[in-house]
Chains A and B, each alone.
Chain A
Amino acid sequence: MKKIPDKEILLFKSCLVNVEYPGVESSTKYLFDKLGIEYIVSERQSCCTGLGHYADLFDQFSTTALAARNFGIAKEEGHKNIATLCATCYAILKKSCNILNDKDDIREQINKILDGSGCHELNYDADDMDSRENIFHSVEILYNKADEIKDLVKVDLSGLRVASHHACHYCKVHHKDTIGNARDPMVIETLAKACGVETVDWYDRKTTTCGNGFRQRYMNKDLSFSVTAEKLNSLKENDVDILLHMCPNCQMQFDRNQESIGKSVGTEFGIVCLNISQFVALALGADPYKVVGVQTHTVPVDKVLGKIKQTNLCQ
């Protein structure tokens, strides 16, 4: 298995985490602090371009140039292990890193552009970063600490039935670097089990896309929703209470659209959507509103909050 760092980490901010589920960032920071993981956040870091890139708006060259700039910032700030909060940032950065290492002409052109844009100090030399050794999803950093997490659990969340949605851009794009089996990664399940919770290890359509499909959600909504509905139906058949995520775009697809899809197929799903970092933070006793940020969710998180209340009454 690849070696996962626990220091010199740049926690890479995500556009959709910023404004849709900021609790994912605050939960991850809460857990990193509890687990003694050394990290920084940089105000200079730009977004990865992901939503625009996969809507075919951003070209590969521009995306790679901006990645080079962000890699330069990570190096300059002495934290060149990048941990993303979003699966698409993870895929985009790894791809850009491979291009910068493999294609001398592209790297030179990009360095020239950085020079001419007042960013000479951010130039990229071949193999400055390694996509396997320096670029991670933040959930991988947590997975590496699953045993320590076990000892820190304060809230009994057992009795809730959880399933995972591992995000295609984590497990399929750079599938040789995915922890576990790329066709059925168990990263999220391992973390949920560390919190003492039963998981639905396999369900029909487990590895299917969330259905967002970038342009599809906006331009081709019926197609997008029919894929999401397949998965929601399977989760319902498996009596799932909570669907655990590692990508804010997937989380939006299942959380924000759930009621609308439910109405169109005549089912009330009531499936709570949480990022795995939010779930683990709740199990470790983090405040639902001041750390986990449940106030930005569309499907109410009441099922989980009820459990926390019970634990508090028992103490």
Chain B
Amino acid sequence: MNTLKIDENSFELAEDIIKDLKASKDLGILKCIQCGMCTSVCPAARHTDYDPREIVKRVLDKDETLILDDILWNCFYCYTCHSVCPVNNSVCEITQILRQKAIDNGKGKPKVAPFSAYGESFLEFGLGSIPSNFFDDLIKDFGKEWLELKINIEDIREDLNLGSMFLPKKDVDDINKILEKTGFKNRLNKLRRCRDEENTR
């Protein structure tokens, strides 16, 4: 009897994504019926060529060029696709995982390198912040008052009777040890090098 032979590794990329730590339990990539609900609600699809349905199709087709495709970087991470999918798939999560693969591959590094200052500030204070390299641009849109806010924030917090936002030194030290051991510091160093190379170019 003639049987149709399917490449036994044809879902390799999909299965790789399903196994990723970022993937939700029972992520339904393999159940996708290409209904297009995701695309119908996607803000990036409305304004760019990013098409969540197409992303899943390419994953199911084991199209690894997707990892290097700039189109991935248009997703807003708003999870609207994820919230409407009838088979518990999440293109938002798939795109996050693919971007991580692009970073590992090297091509995605310049996309993320401009956010390195977030990591630097996290290691220094244990707190998140808008990366300072964007401040000049932001002031143009936000107005000079925003810069004044940055300068006066401690006084304003005091007026509002809020305590210090800074962590005790021992806790910041512990956070640094944790982030050393999780591999984050190493990852950040590579991204910083990439940022510095881009800046000198």
Contacts and interface: CB of A to CB of B under 8 A. Distances in A.
B83 interface: yes
Interface in B87-138: 96, 99-100, 103, 108, 111-112, 114-116, 118-119, 122, 126-131, 134, 137-138
A191 to B, nearest CB: 21
Nearest to B142: A256
Nearest to B191: A57
A213 B167 contact: no
B80 interface: yes
A298 B142 contact: yes
A315 interface: no
Nearest to A44: B171
Nearest to B133: A218
B162 A207 contact: no
B187 A56 contact: no
B181 A116 contact: yes
B21 A61 contact: yes
Given A51-B130, A117-B177, A119-B178, A226 B47 contact: yes
A19 B129 contact: yes
A303 interface: no
A223 B74 contact: yes
A41 B114 contact: no
Contacts of A102: 25
A26 B128 contact: no
Contacts of B96: 56
Nearest to B179: A62
Contact of A214 (B77, B137, B150): B77
Contacts of B118: 51-52, 55, 57
Contacts of B128: 15-16, 47-52
Contacts of A234: none
Contact of A296 (B47, B156, B184, B187): B156
A56 B174 contact: no
A113 B182 contact: yes
A26 B157 CA distance: 9
B193 to A, nearest CB: 14
Interface of B: 20-22, 24-25, 43-44, 46-48, 73-80, 82-84, 96, 99-100, 103, 108, 111-112, 114-116, 118-119, 122, 126-131, 134, 137-138, 141-143, 145-146, 149-150, 153, 156-157, 159-168, 171, 173-175, 177-179, 181-184, 187-188, 191
28 contacts: A19-B129, A20-B149, A47-B126, A50-B128, A52-B119, A52-B122, A54-B77, A56-B99, A56-B108, A58-B119, A59-B183, A61-B21, A61-B183, A62-B183, A69-B178, A116-B177, A118-B173, A118-B174, A119-B178, A169-B79, A209-B76, A215-B73, A215-B111, A215-B115, A220-B73, A227-B43, A227-B76, A290-B160
